[in-house]
Structure 1
Amino acid sequence: MEGKEEDVRLGANRYSERQPIGTAAQGAADDKDYQEPPPAPLFEPGELKSWSFYRAGIAEFVATFLFLYITILTVMGVSKSPSKCATVGIQGIAWSFGGMIFALVYCTAGISGGHINPAVTFGLFLARKLSLTRAIFYIVMQCLGAICGAGVVKGFQQGLYMGNGGGANVVASGYTKGDGLGAEIVGTFILVYTVFSATDAKRNARDSHVPILAPLPIGFAVFLVHLATIPITGTGINPARSLGAAIIYNRDHAWNDHWIFWVGPFVGAALAAIYHQVIIRAIPFKSRS
């Protein structure tokens, strides 16, 4: 046991917090027991000839389809009930979103990375974790999956769906557009920063004695953000989710503030990518191509 405790102590203290900035960060420590993945090239045409590329896109489509199907059905169930005490309520909606992200990231992480969100894909693209080719393909497939998922819910119960907002994101009365935009920026920052932290190569090496399941903190981040911001915007933090519900519901007020649910998540994702890569990790943005 003494030897094990010594290993844990050394593992926890092995990395100095005084890290070099910029390109020096990559070559400063040759004794690292982890490897930083090289930045992805901006364009990778060879991907278009690979079945794994299309398989990953299909996985993103199916995951986003299932995500919208379960979560919008949950929202409709709460809306249908005459009393919030007779249903799962806001907490249940938040658990639905967070739980589905946990399950779907767990299922698809080994195939596509388990993004299920254009904002996550955008943030990882900015950090050079995937190519522009793959990022665009993922976002298109995520949006298509979201549209299909919301469409199936409407097909099940059209009257209920159209009479209760269709799960579309709008800024609630009593809040300004600025409030909604701020909530979306901060909420997405929390989510994308959690994604970066949960999948960080250095963290996985440092905490190798503590098993970590990356989908769990990501799902909890989604759950907590929903608890905080459902009363403000219905919680978007996922442009595909907002687009799918808006297209299938297709009422004017669902489109009036729709830009907020693209601009907010993309700004929040960009800030999280910059914060984690430049401030926390000081990783240079240089391509392997």
Structure 2
Amino acid sequence: MCRGISGVLTRNVRDLKDRVTWQSALAELLGTCILIVIGTGTCIGKDWEANTPTIVQISLTFGLAVATVVRCIGHVSGGHINPAVTCAMLATRRVTLSKAIIYIVSQCLGAIIGSAIVMAITPADYMGDLGQTSVSSSIKAFPRAVAVEAFITFVLIFTIFASCDANRHDLSGSTPLSIGFAVAFCHMFAIKYTGSSMNPARTFGPAVVGGTWEHHWVYWIGPITGAIFAGLIYEFIFASNATPAKMRKYFSDPDYVGDRIFVHSIESNGHHDGHSDDVKKLNDRV
């Protein structure tokens, strides 16, 4: 047991010293910043030249923005751009605690910078609430709001784990696009309830810059809870290599490391579109 704990500590310290960790952190900051500028920028515009954004417009923008960013930085950091995704990866031991903390801090900083950019480029008369998420006044009990955020984040994380399962050979098409579609249709469903965050950083950035914190806790508790449940359920029940032995090892072996993921496109024959050496390099980063 002591040797196992020592191994965990060694991996955490190694990640802190690894240049790739900090390169990945910068990618997460930039990616989250881009997502916030494009996503929340689309939410702004009510009565601005009669250009009131629609639910479909907002949903597609967030979905396509996520897909694009994941495609751009997936080979560097895994393309989390969301603390809930990072928490799911931590819960399934795909990342160390030190790397998870660095990622989440980077994502939140990127969200703040993105919101500041939106504020800087938007005329004051049309700035509104900077695209902040808010719980609908029609929801009387806040557990409902938490449940909505947990559910849509569950769907997102389940999609990520299923689409990036390196042991599957039945996949085809673009992995980032499938993730983007999940974001889009979850927005179409949940905007009327909670504004559809499913990403604590997406809510945190506008809250910091805009100074509005009402019901902010909903957007951390809900998404992180849903993300962890989705990650563990896929890992030990639905993954292509899920077995009781795998679950026992997770709970008994401190050295257990979760299966690596692949975030790029899959060719029509079901095989990854990169060479094996490229896959290994990506696995070492994520």
| Same-fold call, TM cutoff 0.5 | yes
Partner of 2:223: 265
Equivalent position SS for 2:84? helix
Match of 1:136 among 87, 92, 101: 101
1:173 aligns with 2:137: yes
Q: How does 1:1-289 map to 2 (within 5 A)?
A: 41=8, 43-77=11-45, 79-81=46-48, 86-157=51-122, 159-160=124-125, 162=127, 164-176=128-140, 177-203=142-168, 206-207=169-170, 211-251=172-212, 255-280=213-238, 281-282=242-243, 283-284=246-247, 285=250, 286=253, 287-288=255-256
Question: Which protein shows a greater Rg?
Answer: 1
Evaluate the alpha carbon distance shift between residue 88 and residue 257 of structure 1 in structure 2; reply closer, same or farther with a 3 A threshold: closer
**Shift of residue 212 of structure 1?**
3.4
Distance in 2 separating the partners of 1:276 and 1:241: 25
Equivalent position SS for 1:241? helix
Distance in 2 separating the partners of 1:184 and 1:288: 30
For 2:219, give the aligned amino acid. F
CA RMSD between the two structures: 1.9
Distance in 1 separating the partners of 2:108 and 2:158: 22
**Shift of residue 256 of structure 1?**
2.1
**Shift of residue 87 of structure 1?**
4.8
Distance in 1 separating the partners of 2:18 and 2:216: 35
For 1:74, give the aligned amino acid. T
Distance in 2 separating the partners of 1:151 and 1:236: 18
Q: List alignment gaps of at least 5 residues for structure 1.
A: 1-39
Q: Say if 2:111 and 2:205, in contact at 8 Å, map to a contact too.
A: yes
Q: Say if 2:47 and 2:126, in contact at 8 Å, map to a contact too.
A: no
Evaluate the alpha carbon distance shift between residue 196 and residue 160 of structure 1 in structure 2; reply closer, same or farther with a 3 A threshold: farther
- Any runs of at least 4 consecutive aligned residues in structure 1 with deviations exceeding 3 A, and if so which? 40-43, 80-83
Q: Say if 1:76 and 1:160, in contact at 8 Å, map to a contact too.
A: no
Equivalent position SS for 1:175? coil
For 2:22, give the aligned amino acid. Y
Name the TM-score, length of structure 2 as normaliser: 0.79
**Shift of residue 155 of structure 1?**
1.1
Question: When the two structures are aligned, how many residues end up with a matched partner?
Answer: 239
Distance in 1 separating the partners of 2:209 and 2:85: 23
Name the TM-score, length of structure 1 as normaliser: 0.78
Distance in 2 separating the partners of 1:232 and 1:288: 39
Percent of pairs with identical residues? 35
Q: Say if 2:33 and 2:113, in contact at 8 Å, map to a contact too.
A: yes
Q: Say if 1:147 and 1:247, in contact at 8 Å, map to a contact too.
A: yes
**Deviation readout 1:98-132 (Å, 9 max, x if unpaired):** 00000000111100000000000000110111111
**Shift of residue 88 of structure 1?**
4.6
Distance in 1 separating the partners of 2:221 and 2:49: 35
**Shift of residue 47 of structure 1?**
1.9
Q: Say if 1:125 and 1:131, in contact at 8 Å, map to a contact too.
A: yes
